[in-house]
Amino acid sequence: MVTAVAQRLLSQRKQVDDTLAHFSLNRDQLRVVRDKMRVELERGLRKDSHSSASVKMLPAFVFQTPDGTERGKYLALDLGGTNFRVLVVKIRSGIRKSVRMYNKIYAIPHEIMQGTGEELFDHIVHCISDFLDYMGMKNTRLPLGFTFSFPCRQTGIDKGSLVSWTKGFKATDCEDHDVVDMLRDAIKRRNEFDLDIVAVVNDTVGTMMTCAYEDSKCEIGLIAGTGSNVCYMEDMRNIETVEGDEGQMCVNTEWGGFGENGCIEDIRTKFDREVDEGSLNSGKQRFEKMTSGMYLGEIVRQILIDLTKRGLLFRGRITEPLKTRGIFETKFLSQIERFISTYTLIIALMHLQSLGSTCDDSIIVKEVCGAVSHRAAQLCGAGMAAIVEKIRENRGLEHLEITVGVDGTLYKLHPHFSRVLKDTVRDLAPKCTVSFVLSEDGSGKGAALITAVARRYCDKRRQEWLKLRIDKYLYSMRFSDETLLEIMSRFRRELEKGLSQDTNPTATVKMLPTFVRSIPDGTEKGDFIALDLGGSNFRILRVKVSHEKKQTVQMETEIYDTPEDIIHGSGTRLFDHVAECLGDFMEKHKIKDKKLPVGFTFSFPCAQTKLDEGILLTWTKRFKASGVEGMDVVKLLNKAIKKRGVRFTDIMAVVNDTVGTMMTCGFDDHRCEVGIIIGTGTNACYMEEMRHIELVEGDEGRMCINTEWGAFGDDGMLEDIRTDFDRDIDRGSLNPGKQLFEKMVSGMYMGELVRLILVKMAREGLLFEGRITPELLTKGKFETKHISAIEKSKEGLSKAKEILARLGVEPSADDCIAVQHVCAIVSFRSASLVAATLAAILTRLKDNKHVPRLKTTVGIDGSLYKMHPQYARRLHKTVRRLVPECDVRFLLSESGSGKGAAMVTAWAYRLN
Ligand code: BG6
Ligand code: BG6
Ligand code: GLC
Ligand code: GLC
């Protein structure tokens, strides 16, 4: 009899042991798991295998862990773990470095978790609303960090579309939708408060950041809770699904999906398969279903049912609770394993589950729990070993010391899970010393830290990544030095073509003689009027040059309007307007009765045979008055002046603004022999040897040539570097097919170029979440002065936000960085092109002088050059790189071209 009982017990014992033996993994098996995990990690990172990889390796767009300088007040949401929390996080930096948090936990009812997406997000916003009321913060527009503990495919820190629900969530119409958009829409629907959603963060990432705030070695985040997952800092060069090779980025591995391709079938048991089949996402998250709190209880339940069915437990009676899915929560599992005395265990089981009734039953239940949780911890350990080994190899280290930030109820509450996990990692990754730090504050703190960094725009790596993306998008606007040298030599050939009598008629760069033969020599004096027409302002000046002890210049200026209807009307009306303004000026300055000589800066291409004649070849920039092209503008102005009855003033000289600028600067620096304008339009003049100017008689001395370089490329010479944006600009201009170089370079067109790029990028979903406003579509709404404001180093990004808001766009932080970079590329291209053409002029001057090194001064004017914060520096640097054999001084014309025009007039007057 005794033997029979003993045999029955022994057989029972054996059957239980045999069943649980499937859960015991030996070292070799764990090594295999580690190695397979490693393969899947790599496959998830690689472009060609990413789509079929079971471990998705999702880029998290977090480029660095906190450095302690984060500060501010943030709202954080924490959705997807056991609890849904809303928090306010206050972060201080410096010596008072601290983080304070206030939070409230809200329930997410089952029917909402599995209802519609709209209901879920409305519920979330309802909870936020309650929390803001509770905190008295409804009227503050706080930045928000959103911990969303599900797999999201991110394209930026504030963009993430849900790949698929996991764990207990299954709300409809959410998968493949951007969760930030859904939250924003729900906030709009409620229409009670506003929030600035800055970052969407996985809980693993939030946890890593929370722990890294205290421990800079923390570069891995692990969740062992309802779900199971890991993130870590990966080298950018290994993340093939994201552009860029520099620095690091956090990758959310979503290792819960490991095994979806069948690679761990050998260790899955029939109980694992049953749990999977009964889950919300059958076939998915196979590793998670073997390792996380949400499923371990279920595995235990399945084993208990099996053992009961086989008469090995509960006297073969399957009770109602045992039939109930989800009855075994993680916390019960932890509690069962925690109880040491059998008596308390039985009580607990009876109390909690009405399951156990005998002493043996309780022991078996405890063993089942132990086997299942032990395997879970071992599997997590094997996975973690693969991660730390990968990091060690990435860094080429013999030995790696690293910290893992951990959170999750399973890790926190289970009596043995953490120990087994650590032992396994130690065993399977012997070249790594891995410390585990428990996240005391949840991932909300980490989400707030990420929000702080993202908001401050100073996450350098993230900025670099964004910039790189735009660099690639606008690669055709970025030139290598090799290309610039090529453009330089093409322009050099154009200069020669324009100078030669034979080729000039077909040359695009007209190389117009100006009859200005030298820069000021210090002897000029007199009282002059200067008109300055063609730049952004129409100015009239009185310029008095006296010669007491030293030459001094006094100037009085008035700015006059040139309304659109006048510059686009008839030529007669335009010159009448100029004469009228001149009359007004003389009256105002009480010089009505003086017969002062006039110098006329007319900033358009004019053919001259003498100083006081200028036949307008063609209008450029914004001017298009009829009946002026082909006419002598001096004559037209004289006629208008006479008509008005202004006491006759002699127009002694007509000068281009480049010439006026060279002369203004030449007054201060006798080395000045080049004048350039980078303003509404762009152009250059320089002193050429008479012997090379075949269009003018005489070989002696020098004469200033107005190159009219704006027309460079009008014969197709620049087609290889023009972009579709340039072609659009040209088509929409007043002079299609003309001034093609000017249209790539100058202020009149640059803002518009940026606008066109932004519209295209938005259309392709690369900016503003694909939203395009009517203002953004309006020509001229984005001006070159905006580029200058946006590129300012300190306040540029807030300016971008302001300017874009005026265009009806609600830009994210990333949008602002992107727009700033688009501006930089467009303005940098302009500076590079000007550098190339200017370099060609400098080499020409050097060759003319037959010197090994050229020392010269370039006089410059124009609003783009003057107002843009980086333009001048970039231009100077590039010129010096392209022509290292020239020592160039760049001299800004402080007083406009009027002073220079007066100098030319003084000469003309003297000759007269
Ligand atoms: C919390 C974090 O502490 O842990 C959450 O704040 C995370 O973001 C959770 O999801 C994970 O644990 P569990 O057990 O709640 O799923
Ligand atoms: C001014 C000169 O300073 O600059 C003008 O006086 C010139 O002659 C102008 O045309 C060019 O710059 P912008 O930006 O006004 O076209
Ligand atoms: C699930 C989610 C994952 C999350 C983890 C822990 O695996 O897919 O995003 O990190 O649970 O909560
Ligand atoms: C346009 C004009 C040119 C002028 C330049 C700068 O290119 O054609 O004459 O110098 O603008 O204002």
Q: Output the residue whose Cα is nearest ligand 1's atom 1.
A: 442
CA of 81, closest atom in ligand 3: 12
Give the closest ligand to the alpha carbon of residue 152. Answer: 3
Q: Is 202 in the pocket of ligand 3 (CB under 6 A)?
A: yes
- Average pLDDT (381-391) is 98
Could you tell me the distance, in angstroms and rounded to a whole number, from the CA of residue 800 to the centre of ligand 3?
36
Using CA positions, which residue lies closest to atom 14 of ligand 1? 225
Global pTM? 0.64
| Those residues with Cβ within 8 angstroms of residue 11's Cβ, 6 or more apart along the chain or in another chain | none
Band of the pLDDT at 352, cuts 50, 70, 90?
A: very low
Q: Tell me, yes or no, if 657 is annotated catalytic.
A: yes
Say if ligand 4 is within 6 A of residue 534 CB: yes
Q: Mind listing the pLDDT tens digit for each residue in 236-250?
A: 999 999 988 888 999
Tens of pLDDT along 261-271?
999 999 999 99
CA 288 to ligand 3: nearest atom? 7
Ligand of minimum distance to the alpha carbon of 620: 4
Residue 550: helix, strand or coil by DSSP? coil
Parallel, antiparallel, or unpaired: how do β-strands 682-689 and 702-706 relate?
A: antiparallel
Q: How far apart are CA 268 and CA 577, in angstroms?
A: 90
Residue 605 Cα to ligand 4 midpoint, Å, equals: 7
- Annotated catalytic residue within 443, 603, 788, 812: 603
535 lines ligand 4 (CB under 6 A): yes
How many CB atoms lie under 10 A from the CB of residue 654?
A: 31
Catalytic hit among 657, 714, 815, 861: 657
Ligand 4 geometric centre to CA of 387 (Å): 62
For range 118-123, the mean pLDDT: 97
Mean pLDDT of 126-155: 93
Chain centroid, CA 354 distance in Å: 58
Is residue 339 within 8 Å of 352, Cβ to Cβ? no
CA proximity to 173, closest of 126, 227, 119, 124 = 119
Ligand 1 neighbour 223 (Cβ under 6 A): yes
Least confident interval from 3-7, 307-311, 396-400, 660-664: 3-7
Partners of 200 in the β-ladder: 146
Q: How far is the CA of 509 from the centre of ligand 3 (A)?
A: 65
User: Which comes out higher in pLDDT, residue 362 or 65?
Assistant: 65
Quick check: CB of 227 below 6 Å from ligand 3?
Answer: yes
Ligand nearest the Cα atom of residue 281: 3
pLDDT digits (tens, 9 = 90+) for 576-590: 999 999 999 999 999
**What is the tens place of the pLDDT at every residue in 654-682?**
999 999 999 999 999 999 999 999 999 99
Q: Which protein residue has the closest C-alpha to ligand 1 atom 4?
A: 408
Helix axes 27-45, 359-394, angle to 10 degrees: 50
Instruction: Name all residues whose Cβ lies below 6 A of ligand 2.
Output: 532, 534-536, 601, 603, 657, 660, 677, 679-680, 747, 861-863, 896-898
- Residue ranges of alpha helices (H) inside 143-279 are 179-190, 203-214, 270-277
Distance of CA 900 to the CA centre of its chain: 44
Which pLDDT score is estimated for 646? 72
Annotate 553-589 with three-state secondary structure.
EEEEEEEECCCHHHHCCEHHHHHHHHHHHHHHHHHHC
Please report where in the chains the tokens 């519920």 appear, as a residue. 123
Is 699 assigned a catalytic role? Answer: no
Least confident interval from 8-12, 355-359, 740-744, 888-892: 355-359
One-letter amino acid at 349 equals: L
Residue 227 has pLDDT above 60, yes or no: yes
- Residue 516, pLDDT > 80, answer yes
Residue 811 near ligand 3, beta carbon < 6 Å: no
> In the predicted model, what is the mean pLDDT of residues 99-122?
95
Q: 15-59 pLDDT, tens per residue?
A: 999 999 999 999 999 999 999 999 999 999 999 999 999 999 999
**Mean per-residue pLDDT, 151-159:** 93
Strands, sheet with 98-106, edge to edge from the N-terminal-most edge strand:
98-106, 84-92, 72-79, 143-148, 196-201
81 alpha carbon to ligand 3 midpoint, in Å?
8
Catalytic residue among 539, 542, 702, 874: 539
3-state secondary structure of 156: strand
pLDDT above 60 for 351: no
Determine the atom of ligand 4 nearest the C-alpha atom of 534. Answer: 12
Protein residue with its CA nearest to atom 4 in ligand 3: 149
Q: Ligand 1 within 6 A of 161 CB?
A: no
Distance 223 CA to ligand 3 centre (A): 7
Residue 745 has pLDDT above 90, yes or no: yes
Band the pLDDT of 166: cuts 50, 70, 90.
very high
User: Mind listing the pLDDT tens digit for each residue in 299-334?
Assistant: 999 999 999 999 998 888 888 888 888 877 777 888
User: If pLDDT is split at 50, 70 and 90, which confidence band does 112 have?
Assistant: very high
**Of residues 702, 659, 687, 667, the one with CA closest to residue 522:** 667
Q: Ligand 4, atom 12: nearest CA belongs to which residue?
A: 681
- The finding on whether 681 has its CB within 6 A of some atom of ligand 3 is no
Check residue 550 and give its pLDDT: 80
Output the CA 677–ligand 2 centroid distance in Å. 7
Amino acid identity for residue 84 in this structure = F
With a 6 Å cutoff on the Cβ, whether 442 touches ligand 3 is no
Q: How many CB atoms lie within 10 A of CB 163?
A: 16
Nearest alpha carbon, ligand 4 atom 1? 681
Annotated active-site residue 539? The verdict is yes
Tell me the CA–centroid distance for residue 446 and ligand 1, in Å. 12
Residue 486 CA to ligand 4 center (angstroms) comes to 24
Once rounded to an integer, what is the mean pLDDT over residues 560-575? 96
* Closest atom of ligand 4 relative to the 739 alpha carbon: 7
Rounded mean pLDDT, 512-520: 95
Q: Is 623 left (phi over 0), alpha (psi -120 to 50) or beta?
A: beta
pLDDT at residue 60 above 60?
yes
Compute the distance from residue 508 Cα to the ligand 2 centre, in Å: 23
Kindly report the protein residue whose alpha carbon is nearest to atom 3 of ligand 4.
604
What is the percentage of the chain residues whose pLDDT exceeds 70? Answer: 96
**Where residue 469 falls among pLDDT bands split at 50, 70, 90?**
confident
Type of residue found at 373? S
Site to probe by mutation for ligand 3, drawn from 82, 147, 254, 406 as the one with most ligand atoms within 8 Å of Cβ, is 254
> Residue 256: CB within 6 Å of ligand 3?
yes
Mean pLDDT of all residues belonging to the chain: 93
Give how far Cα 101 sits from Cα of 330, 405, 445, 595, Å. 27, 19, 8, 79
For ligand 1, the distance from its centroid to the CA atom of residue 225, given in whole angstroms, is: 6
